[in-house]
Copies of this chain bind each other. A is one copy, B any other.
């Protein structure tokens, strides 16, 4: 992985800033012969799109994805991939023209403003430039292509924690996830979060969150130890999402607290002659290689640093200043990170599926 590209055989390069004319992704290494409809991409874009509820930024973007290369359009409106790079472009339509004067020179505490300036000596301050979460739109588009590569794999994510309010895992209902503005799988938690986030939002404050991603149907055998482990690449992919501060696989940090007896997932042969794991503490990855069990990861998102409360900071000239951030921000960026987490998962698994196929010659290791 280098700079703005990730993946080894299925490679995604993203480009673009929050308030430039457009942003996009080039998906390289996608196999040929995969058929899709433009709306197959769009449905994922819509999940991430701003302005969907009062709990996310009120910026208005249609996030229509244009496919500029790598496909042969068919008469029935579908597109078939040709094996050449797929260029996906999303125009920025709602860049409010305003005076950025203050933001242009002052560093939001907790934001990348300062570090970009230190590193590059120049910074696109308009809407956060490249450090804006808007970049993740390109990831979601790429993730939709990645899903085509692994049709037997179901990748879903949900928000499992906002602030200190965690869902009750016993209530987990996948169908519920699309029924509320939080991608919450626990119906009982929805009203709690609603009230809590309204409070946060009205205060001009923000709050952190945790997202859980689950991939079912991942064949056993994906992952390339030692330094191309499946869970390593998942960790990198999730940590690259804006505002993410922690990643865990399976039991994660919980694994530190338990004994070998509790942690090791026992096995038995199933009635169909296939191996069965009696538990999945490992989160579907052993020694960096998928076990055939669902691959499960969680990632923690910090609260956005764009808040109304005045905070101490400095400006580019080295003066102390106090700054409050106005504008249209997400009270909980974790919400819109849900489809982004899914997209990154899809890209990593598609990449490892192709890598494994190259290395072992098998289409799938699942018996």
Contacts and interface: CB of A to CB of B under 8 A. Distances in A.
B256 A334 contact: yes
A165 to B, nearest CB: 9
A129 interface: yes
16 contacts: A1-B8, A2-B227, A33-B122, A68-B89, A107-B267, A109-B265, A118-B292, A161-B256, A163-B257, A205-B260, A246-B249, A256-B301, A264-B307, A266-B313, A267-B313, A361-B363
B209 A83 contact: no
A3 to B, nearest CB: 5
A343 to B, nearest CB: 13
A228 interface: yes
A5 B227 contact: yes
Interface in A4-56: 4-6, 8-9, 11, 13-17, 20-24, 26, 28-29, 31-33
Given A16-B87, A232-B240, A72 B122 contact: yes
Interface in A230-251: 231-233, 235-236, 238-240, 242, 245-251
A119 interface: yes
Given A313-B266, A361-B357, A11 B16 contact: no
A256 B85 contact: no
A210 interface: yes
Nearest to A318: B269
In the complex, the count of this chain's copies comes to 4
A200 to B, nearest CB: 7
A4 B11 CA distance: 10
Chain A interface category by residue count: 35 or more
Interface in A87-131: 87, 89, 107-112, 114-116, 118-124, 129-131
Contacts of A355: 9, 358
A311 to B, nearest CB: 6
A339 interface: no
A5 B16 contact: no
A151 to B, nearest CB: 13
Given A6-B227, A20-B69, A118-B292, 6 more contacts: A114-B267, A118-B291, A119-B221, A119-B356, A232-B236, A357-B357
Interface stretch (A57-65, A171-179, A180-188, A278-286): A278-286
